[in-house]
């Protein structure tokens, strides 16, 4: 277990009405039309609430619960294979048999992923207001993407990894209303929603860009992959992206 294989993830948790509606509309434009059925590799999902008597643990049991969490793990897993990474051949998929999710008490990040484990902070759950299941589902899409994405065996930049996880969140239509808009940010590898929006732009230049990039990142990462896939170096892509949508 090495340090860079931990992903500490923070999601915005303010709940506003109409969240997701804009994202949903964009989704219908950007989804590949021909994502075929995924040949199922069998994955088990286990959910353990290690703090069932704390306020956050009680909130989890009352507002989300283990059966709902397992269902979201399964649906997000299938979405990640078929739509995000388009890995319809099991040999392209990360060989995962069991994912364990812990509801545990810790400060700081909302979620931590390492290997095939995910910890969700009971303090984050306690703080959720409004549509709690909806927001929790968004966090699941992000964390589950970490479980299944390739990271060049640890050589890919951390903020690209976080950007790809938020890209999955973005196209899942569970992105909160305060998710960055197109053209926001200063650097392509700023991470999270900024990078997710940039990756969405790259998808518009080269169809299935993120799925192809992820596939290339199986054993090694190279920033030249951007140029291989689009014909343009990443810095030029970022300039053109900013020129198109820039704030
Ligand atoms: C996740 O939570 C479990 C259960 O409390 C704990 O054993 C483990 O150390 C935690 N992992 C991290 C990386 O915090
Ligand atoms: Zn993350």
Look at residue 131 in the predicted model and tell me its pLDDT.
96
For ligand 1, whether the C-beta of 9 sits within 6 Å is no
Could you tell me the distance, in angstroms and rounded to a whole number, from the CA of residue 247 to the centre of ligand 2? 26
Give the H/E segment covering residue 58: helix 55-59
Model confidence pLDDT, tens digit, residues 64-79: 999 999 999 999 999 9
54: left (phi over 0), alpha (psi -120 to 50) or beta: beta
Q: What is the position in ligand 1's atom list of the atom closest to the CA of 51?
A: 5
Q: Is the pLDDT of residue 40 over 90?
A: no
Best residue among 102, 109, 114 to mutate for probing ligand 1, ranked by most atoms within 8 Å of CB:
102
Could you tell me the distance, in angstroms and rounded to a whole number, from the CA of residue 191 to the centre of ligand 1? 24
Cα–Cα distance list, 231 to 15, 151, 203, 224 (Å): 40, 22, 13, 10
For ligand 1, whether the C-beta of 103 sits within 6 Å is no
pLDDT band at 51 (very low <50, low <70, confident <90, very high): very high
Could you tell me the distance, in angstroms and rounded to a whole number, from the CA of residue 162 to the centre of ligand 2? 5
Cα–Cα distance list, 35 to 52, 82, 127, 179, 196 (Å): 39, 6, 36, 25, 20
Residues with CB under 5 A from ligand 2 (ion): 7, 9, 162, 165
Nearest CA to ligand 1 atom 5: 104
C-alpha–C-alpha distance, residues 38 and 171, integer Å: 18
- Which tokens in the block code for residue 164? 């790809």
* pTM of structure: 0.87
* C-alpha closest to that of 81 among 49, 41, 133, 115: 41
Model confidence pLDDT, tens digit, residues 102-161: 999 999 999 999 999 999 999 999 999 999 999 999 999 999 999 999 999 999 999 999
**Residue 102, strand partner residues:** 48, 119
Q: Is the pLDDT of residue 5 over 60?
A: no
- Which tokens in the block code for residue 30? 């950007």
Q: What residues does each domain of the chain span?
A: 5-148, 154-245
Look at residue 38 in the predicted model and tell me its pLDDT.
52
* Mean pLDDT, residues 77-104 taken together: 96
Could you tell me the distance, in angstroms and rounded to a whole number, from the CA of residue 200 to the centre of ligand 2? 17
- Which tokens in the block code for residue 70? 């397992």
C-alpha–C-alpha distance, residues 31 and 196, integer Å: 15
Question: Which ligand has its closest atom nearest to the C-alpha of 165?
Answer: 2
Model confidence pLDDT, tens digit, residues 175-185: 999 999 999 99
Q: According to DSSP H, which parts of 32-127 are helical?
A: 55-59, 66-79, 122-127
Look at residue 29 in the predicted model and tell me its pLDDT.
39
Cβ atoms of residues 187 and 238 within 8 Å: yes
pLDDT band at 17 (very low <50, low <70, confident <90, very high): very low
For ligand 1, whether the C-beta of 102 sits within 6 Å is yes
pLDDT band at 246 (very low <50, low <70, confident <90, very high): confident
């Amino acid at each position: 277990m090495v340090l860079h294989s931990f992903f500490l993830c923070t999601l915005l948790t303010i709940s506003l009405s109409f969240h997701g509606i804009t994202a949903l509309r964009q989704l219908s434009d950007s989804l590949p039309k021909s994502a075929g059925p995924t040949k199922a590799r069998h994955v088990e999902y286990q959910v353990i609430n290690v703090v069932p008597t704390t306020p956050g643990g009680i909130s989890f049991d009352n507002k989300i619960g283990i059966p709902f969490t397992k269902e979201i793990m399964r649906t997000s897993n299938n979405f990640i294979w078929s739509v995000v990474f388009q890995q319809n051949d099991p040999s392209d998929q990360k060989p995962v048999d069991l994912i364990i999710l812990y509801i545990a008490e810790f400060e700081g990040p909302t979620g931590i992923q390492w290997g095939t484990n995910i910890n969700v902070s009971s303090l984050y759950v306690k703080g959720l207001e409004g549509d709690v299941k909806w927001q929790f589902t968004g966090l699941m899409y992000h964390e589950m993407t970490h479980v299944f994405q390739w990271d060049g065996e640890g050589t890919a930049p951390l903020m690209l990894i976080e950007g790809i996880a938020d890209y999955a969140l973005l196209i899942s239509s569970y992105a909160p209303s305060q998710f960055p808009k197109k053209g926001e940010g200063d650097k392509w590898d700023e991470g999270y929603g900024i990078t997710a929006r940039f990756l969405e732009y790259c998808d518009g230049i080269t169809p299935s860009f993120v799925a192809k990039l992820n596939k290339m990142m199986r054993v090694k990462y190279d920033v030249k992959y951007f140029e291989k896939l689009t014909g343009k170096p990443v810095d030029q892509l970022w300039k053109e992206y900013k020129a198109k949508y820039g704030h």
